[in-house]
Chains A and B, each alone.
Chain A
Amino acid sequence: MSKQTTSYYVPSQSHWPIVGAIGLFLIAVGAGTMVQQMSTEQSSGGWILSLGVIIIIGMMIGWFNDVIREADQGLYSAQMDRSFRQGMSWFIFSEVMFFFAFFGALFYVRTISVPWLGGSSNNEMTGQVLWPEFEAIWPLITTPSGDTTQAMGWKGLPLINTVILLTSSITLHFAHKGLEDNKRKQLTILLAITALLGLSFLFFQAEEYVEAYREMGLTLSAGVYGNTFFLLTGFHGLHVTIGTIMLFIMLGRVIKGHFTPQRHFAFQATSWYWHFVDVVWLGLFFFVYIL
């Protein structure tokens, strides 16, 4: 672990972090203002938000370019590489916990709040007095206040998407293998396929949302079934989007000839991220769609 510390690169000052902090500031202010302005004509929030996003994107490009350049100059030791990898793994752990909270909310409404509203456990009177008409079933297609919706089945698009994501994890794995064995062609082709699979997943998910809104009356405000459905799949979709962008960037870099079998932290990180997104989807598919 800490055998070799003779040289550790302490980077010099950089202006990217402060740019990133300002970017986040603008995003927070912009998003907050935009949400408040939703029912009005004003749009300043949206502009501030976009500015923030642009700055953050700029920061990422600049920052990563610095890191790539420094790596190319051979300034990084193996220890530094480990720091990056460990940092990325802990970051993914934090993402896992973020999803965990939403899964927790799903389990809670399914096993506690909805049955209680129907009068089970120590909430007999809740059902009798406050919601006499309400029937506790899952998926909750009729809310206590009487709104109705339809449940999303697991066959069809969700199943297709599961297959797509699973396949993409496999292709990415072998792309990585290709990188490690220095088979650049295998790497390039499989990585390209992975990225395209990511895109098609997003396409089908968009399709699914359109269908939910247009035909099924399943909307974000359709009671806790719709809430948990859209927040879980939505945040997952957001992560797939980010992952797909990362995959395309990696593809670009591979084509430009970056990465060696020994040194490819960015690729490794992307691949971990993609596998993580895949595992989350399996959880989703099982708990949101099938059960």
Chain B
Amino acid sequence: MHKKIIIGAASILLSLSAAAEIETPSKYNLTQGVTDTSQQVYDLHMIILYICIVIGIVVFGAMFYSIINHRKSKGAVAAQFHESTKVEIIWTVIPFVILIAMAIPATSVLIDMEDSSKSDITIKITGSQWKWHYQYFDHDFGFYSLLTTPQQQIQNYSHSTNIEPKGENYLLEVDRELVLPIGKKIRFLITADDVIHSWWVPAFAVKQDANPGFINEAWTRINEPGIYRGQCAELCGKDHGFMPIVVRVLEQKDYDIWLQQQLQQVASAKKAAEQALASTLTMAESMTLGEQVYLTRCAACHQVNGAGIPGAFPALKGSAIALGDITKHIDIVANGKPASAMQAFSKQLTAKELAAVVTYERNAWGNDTGDVVQVTNVNLTEAK
């Protein structure tokens, strides 16, 4: 009698979840994604979920049956049995068989996921506190990708001023997206500069830790153009929650056009840098550019007001370095401080930006040294 109930309940649940499967980007369930791998992972996930649900129904069904029927208040008298080698063997063997049935597809999907050979494109991904860097390995070009959601949307403290309403892609938007083509096998070389990060885009079913000093490999082949969002998935310090990933996937021809544009821009940026060397920066110009750089790159640690976080990040307001020798100041910004969270910014900023941010730090928040750092100064220190 109760067998029928169980089978009935199971089939209702199964058909319910089958119905839920149709609307794809679910709020309740794993994404099916846009790669063959992500589809396979999704299928695997659903198979195992169903198996667990069925086992659950059987086990809990039996339990509720006795809860309902074998209660003392209904006059139930306890039976005497307390052992049966036969059933115990059965319920050791059956789960074992079920597990083997799960392990087979899992193994084949895994072996496929871990084989990144014969790729068409290689991208080197480097995580650092708290941004991603993408290097197009086959071309000599790469860029940083930073969160663009403004602090006014994020900080809703009671003392915060001019709070803005949150945008549609709150926390999942960046200044420069990683751009990839469809249909190509793309290999990722994933590493980190400081702590462990983890590069995760659910729609590709790629999640791979970025370990400092080591390179992990992963790959994907994307089937549909679109914009896909993900996040850093390993606790990496204060702003771990503010380290999004955005990938724009294009048709092959659009991708080629985009790539050409980028390569041209790299060339012209080089020229601009050379010109900047000759030009002289004014205080006003430096302060505007410097402030902008400071807010996007430095404020996460040293805080907008330059006060830092005591014990973790030093204050720049009134700091000996910001008020003292300019060369030392430039040096720590350009080359960072080894074995600390202070990274080398010479790779991340243009010489002009670097000069400007140092000027800014030397003149903001009452530091008022009056120094204006020039691009030439920066290059000099970098050279040594």
A and B touch in the complex (CB under 8 A): yes
Which residues in window 24-77 of B have CB below 8 A to A?
A: none
Contact indicator A123/B214 (Cβ below 8 Å): yes
Most buried by A among B124, B214, B217: B214
Q: A129–B213 contact, CB under 8 A?
A: no
Q: Is the CB of B213 within 8 A of A125?
A: no
In this complex, how many residues of chain B approach chain A with their Cβ under 8 Å: the count is: 8
- By the criterion CB–CB under 8 Å, are A130 and B213 in contact? yes
B286 an interface residue at 8 Å Cβ cutoff? no
B289 within 8 A of A: no
Min CB gap A150→B, angstroms:
24
Interface string of B87-114 (1 = CB under 8 A from A): 0000000000000000000000000001
Q: Is B189 an interface residue (CB 8 A)?
A: yes
Interface presence of A117 (CB below 8 A): yes
> Which chain B residues (158-210) contact chain A, with CB distance < 8 Å?
189, 191
Tell yes or no: A116 within 8 A of B by CB. Answer: yes
**Complex alpha-carbon distance, A125 and B191, angstroms:** 10
| B214–A129 CB distance below 8 A | no
Flag A112-125 by CB within 8 Å of B: 1 or 0 each.
Answer: 00001100001101
- Nearest A residue to B137 via CB reads A129
- Whether B213 lies near A144 (C-beta < 8 A) is yes
Query: Chain B residue with minimal CB distance to A144?
Result: B213
Q: In the complex, how many angstroms separate the beta carbon of A82 from the nearest chain B beta carbon?
A: 34
Q: Is the CB of B124 within 8 A of A126?
A: no
Give CA–CA (A125, B119) in the complex, Å: 14
B187 to A, closest residue via Cβ: A125
| Complex CA distance for A271 and B342, rounded to whole angstroms | 52
Q: Which of A122, A123, A129 contacts B124 (CB 8 A)?
A: A129
Does A116 contact B214, Cβ atoms closer than 8 Å? yes
The number of chain A residues with a CB under 8 A from chain B is 10
- CB distance A117 to B214 under 8 Å? yes
* Docked complex Cα distance between A129 and B187 (Å): 15
Q: Report the separation of the CA atoms of residues A116 and B213 in the bound assembly, to the nearest whole angstrom.
A: 10
Main secondary structure of the interface of A (DSSP, over half): helix
Give the contacts of A113-167 with B (CB-CB under 8 A).
116-117, 122-123, 125-126, 129-131, 144
- The chain B residue with its CB closest to the CB of A131 is B213
Residues of B within 8 A of A129 (CB): 124, 189, 215
> In residues 93-117 of chain A, which contact B (Cβ within 8 Å)?
116-117
Contacts of A117 in B (CB 8 A): 213-214
User: Interface readout for B105-129 with A: 1 if CB under 8 Å, 0 if not?
Assistant: 0000000001000000000100000
The one of A116, A125, A130, A144 that contacts B217, using a Cβ cutoff of 8 Å: A125
Complex Cα gap A68–B151 (Å)? 68
Chain B: which residue is nearest A127 at the CB level? B215
* Pairwise interchain contact B217-A122, C-beta atoms closer than 8 A: yes
Kindly provide the distance from the CB of B115 to the nearest chain A CB, expressed in whole angstroms: 10
A233 to chain B, nearest CB (A): 25
Residues of B278-292 contacting chain A, CB below 8 A: none
- CB contacts (< 8 Å) of A125 on chain B: these are 189, 215, 217
Q: Which residue of A lies closest to B338 (CB)?
A: A145
**Smallest CB–CB gap between A113 and chain B, Å?**
8
Q: How far is A129 from B191 in the complex, measured between Cα atoms in Å? A: 11
Shortest CB distance B33–A (Å): 24
Distance between B338 CB and nearest chain A CB, rounded to angstroms: 10
Q: Nearest residue in A to B212 (C-beta to C-beta)? A: A130
Contact code string B214-236 (vs A, CB < 8 Å = 1, else 0): 11010000000000000000000
Q: Which A residue's beta carbon lies closest to that of B116?
A: A122
**Interface contact B213-A123, CB-CB below 8 Å:** no
Contacting pair A130 B214 (CB below 8 A): yes
Complex alpha-carbon distance, A144 and B214, angstroms: 11
Taking the closest CB of chain A, its distance from the CB of B189, in whole angstroms, is 5
Shortest C-beta distance, B310 to chain A (Å), equals: 15
* B213: chain A residues within 8 A (beta carbon): 117, 126, 130-131, 144
Q: Which of A116, A122, A130 contacts B191 (CB 8 A)?
A: A130
Q: In whole Å, how far is A112's beta carbon from the nearest beta carbon of chain B? A: 11
Inside 8 A of A130's CB, which chain B residues have their CB? 191, 213-215
Chain A residue contacts of B114, Cβ below 8 A? 122
Q: Cα distance A126–B210 when bound, in Å?
A: 12
Note all chain A residues with C-beta closer than 8 A to B189: 125, 129
Who on chain A is nearest to B135 by CB? A129
Q: How near does chain B come to A207, taking the closest CB pair, in angstroms?
A: 32
- Bound-state CA distance A126–B212 (Å) is 10
Chain B residues positioned under 8 Å from A131 (CB to CB): 213
CA distance A125 to B217 in the complex (A): 8
- B residues in contact with A144, CB < 8 Å: 213
A181-192: CB near B (< 8 Å → 1, else 0) gives 000000000000
The 3 A-B pairs of least Cβ separation, nearest first, read A125-B215, A126-B215, A126-B214
If A117-B214, A125-B189, A125-B217 are given as contacts, then 15 extra A-B residue pairs at C-beta distance below 8 Å, sorted by A number, are A116-B214, A117-B213, A122-B114, A122-B217, A123-B214, A125-B215, A126-B213, A126-B214, A126-B215, A129-B215, A130-B191, A130-B214, A130-B215, A131-B213, A144-B213
